[in-house]
Amino acid sequence: MNKKKVWFITGSSTGFGRELAEAVLAQGYTVAVTARKPEVLRDLVEKYPNSVIALKLDVTKPDEVRHAVAEAVKKFGTIDVVVNNAGYGLIGAIEEASDAQIRQQFETNVFGALDVMRAVLPQMREQKSGHLLNISAVNGFVGFPFTGFLTATKFALEAFSESLSKEVEPYGIKVTIVEPGLFRTDLIKRSLVVGENRMVETYPSTFIDWLREMDGKQPGDPRKAAQAMIKVVESKNPPLRLPLGEDAILAIEAELENVRNDIAPWRQVGIDTAFEGMKAESIGG
């Protein structure tokens, strides 16, 4: 194995971020862990004083993003792996969320991750190496009801991750979109927000109740998810997408089939919209 990489993990206080931080530190990596309240990470600093730095970071504050990245590079000389994990879920029908809730969802899940990547990319391009792990969800590939805003942010994250992967490939930088299904973290208790304008009579969906009932019963083991992410980072040929959990894999496979079936009967209609005699080429050459 090559020299141990330096990791930078957002949202390290709980959930995937915490599990991943503990796993990479236990395996001898160097890590910059971040949280809005870095004091909650004190135990990691005390346990691994030479391998970890805890930094204050609210990803919705660009100044804090730039400062945290600069401090990590100053401390360790480089950043090899960035994990965009900070985020939360706004759930409920599309009509039910307030403007402020919607904008905050995008500020955190989309623009926060984007700011982190833009802050670290110049250094990665200069060293001609690096790996970005963007924590999406199965919702980043499949649109489920009553998760429209969470799904929209994850679709956005996946969209610019895919484009970015092609832009930075010449610089030796890898991008992997991590798509977890249901894992036994504290996400449901801590990081789910319900739309302020709840319309129970109009949208009496049992989805929110079902989701809360699933708390503590999720099939996914976050420690195994952390090991899977480490394995991807150490792979010579990491995937662009990494679905985690059989539930995520089955849902994504079903969605791929749904898309094919949806397009098939209308394929010729779409093709026939070209100017007469024009032959199409693949977009992008």
Asked if residue 265 is part of any domain, the answer here is no
Task: Give the pLDDT confidence of 4-60 residue by residue, as tens digits.
Answer: 899 999 999 988 999 999 999 999 999 999 999 999 999 999 999 999 999 999 999
pLDDT at 196: 85
Asked if residue 103 is part of any domain, the answer here is yes
DSSP count for the chain of H helices, then E strands: 11, 9
What CATH number does residue 33 fall under? 3.40.50.720
Q: Across residues 106-129, what is the average pLDDT?
A: 98
Cα–Cα distance for residue pair 215/183, rounded to 1 Å: 9
127 or 205: which carries more pLDDT confidence?
127
Say whether pLDDT at 2 is over 60: no
Asked if residue 254 is part of any domain, the answer here is no
What does each C-alpha distance from 258 to 114, 261, 264 come to in angstroms? 30, 5, 10
- Closest to 244 measured CA to CA, from 218, 224, 215: 224
The least confident of 171-175, 194-198, 240-244 is 194-198
Asked if residue 37 is part of any domain, the answer here is yes
Domain carrying residue 114: 6-249
Say whether pLDDT at 1 is over 60: no
In 195-276, DSSP assigns E strands to 241-244
Say whether pLDDT at 142 is over 80: yes
Asked if residue 256 is part of any domain, the answer here is no
Cα–Cα distance for residue pair 254/249, rounded to 1 Å: 9
Asked if residue 90 is part of any domain, the answer here is yes
Asked if residue 261 is part of any domain, the answer here is no
Model confidence, pTM: 0.92
Total domain count for the chain?
Answer: 1
Residue-averaged pLDDT of the chain = 92
Q: Residue 232 in 3-state DSSP? A: helix
